[in-house]
């Protein structure tokens, strides 16, 4: 998509840099939830221990269960939404 910006001095075409920034954002949108799913431990006690080692904050096992479920739902839903957007863009041809 080429956007032409007209100013009194000259005409500027914003094409390359916007495309690179948009593509980088799309790639990060896929990598972050995928990495969370790949690195998320199955055991809530392990999640609490990793959080304590990494940040020094200790949480209860019940809070770790809730945090794990929340991270799982957010990661899967964001991947589903990104997948739907990708399929829609393939159909439209964008």
CB burial string 12-51: b at 16+ within 10 A, e below? eeeeeeeeeeeeeeeeebeeebeebeeeeeeebeebbeeb
d(CA 80, CA 33): 10
- The tens place of each residue's pLDDT in the chain, 94 residues long, gives 455 555 555 555 555 566 666 777 777 788 888 999 999 999 999 999 999 999 999 999 999 999 999 999 999 999 999 889 888 888 886 5
Helix, strand, coil shares, percent, the chain, to 5: 70, 10, 20
Is the model's pTM score more than 0.85? Answer: no
Beta bridge partners of 14: 3
């Amino acid at each position: 998509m080429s956007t032409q910006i007209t100013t009194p001095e000259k005409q500027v075409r914003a094409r390359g840099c916007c495309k690179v920034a948009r593509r980088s954002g799309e790639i990060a949108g896929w990598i972050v939830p995928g990495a969370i799913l790949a690195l998320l431990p199955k055991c809530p006690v392990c999640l609490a221990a990793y959080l304590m080692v990494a940040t020094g904050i200790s949480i209860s096992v019940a809070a770790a269960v809730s945090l794990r479920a929340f991270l799982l739902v957010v990661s899967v839903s964001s991947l589903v939404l990104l997948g739907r957007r990708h399929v829609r863009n393939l159909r439209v041809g964008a």
